[in-house]
A and B are shown apart, each in its own frame.
Chain A
Amino acid sequence: ETGVTQSPTHLIKTRGQQVTLRCSSQSGHNTVSWYQQALGQGPQFIFQYYREEENGRGNFPPRFSGLQFPNYSSELNVNALELDDSALYLCASSLVASNEQFFGPGTRLTVL
């Protein structure tokens, strides 16, 4: 059974640029959630996708957007990057009816 994978591992961008992060769900999982973990903080919920539609959103601006594909993989897109967007971005997959989420290793984004 393959776990949750994310790419890339690390990424460096400059302010104002756009970035796309990718996530492959654990086998059989149909729901993907994205979290932002700033240094020294706990993860914060960005949004969740189920059946290729957004299924819940946290307190993040519209420049944070996402996609889910038919194979349940997902992308997180962030436009107009700001310095405060520097963080570890975590993807978690689950079954829609399950309370348990399984996390990937994360993508470390640095905005200069």
Chain B
Amino acid sequence: AQSVSQHNHHVILSEAASLELGCNYSYGGTVNLFWYVQYPGQHLQLLLKYFSGDPLVKGIKGFEAEFIKSKFSFNLRKPSVQWSDTAEYFCAVNRAGSARQLTFGSGTQLTVLP
């Protein structure tokens, strides 16, 4: 069975600091990778996704992520965070040929201090 690990449960940064959230998955086959964000009181929204091709993917709001196959990692980055980035971030994977079910990590709560 596949699993997803997010090692940082709570990250606190000041505005303009750089962000990197870790995500590792366990599955040896072909996977699709996602980062979702859940702002306070709002529903899950897709930040970015990786299916194939260039391992560096860019998403909305200045976020990007890099897929490193040899490390089974898909870390999320942003060069300069804003107070409005305060939210919970979830890494998720699914595998080709399945019912497309998503397996999520436990999430990272990001708090950006103004």
Contact = CB atoms under 8 A, between A and B. Distances in A.
Interface of A: 4, 31, 33, 35, 40-45, 48, 55-56, 58, 90, 92, 94, 98-106
Contacts of B34: 100
A105 B43 CA distance: 4
A102 B34 CA distance: 12
B100 A99 contact: yes
Contacts of B104: 35, 42-44
Contacts of B44: 43, 90, 103
A33 B92 CA distance: 15
B51 A99 contact: yes
A75 B32 CA distance: 27
Interface string B86-104: 0000101010001111111
How big is the B interface, by class? 20 to 34
A39 to B, nearest CB: 11
B101 A58 contact: yes
Contact of B107 (A42, A94, A98): A42
Contacts of A43: 44, 90, 102, 104
Contacts of B107: 40-42
B45 to A, nearest CB: 8
A48 B99 contact: yes
Contacts of B42: 105
Interface string B74-114: 00000000000000001010100011111111110000000
Interface in B22-38: 32, 34, 36
A41 B101 contact: no
Contacts of B94: 99
Contact of A56 (B36, B45, B101): B101
Contacts of B4: 42
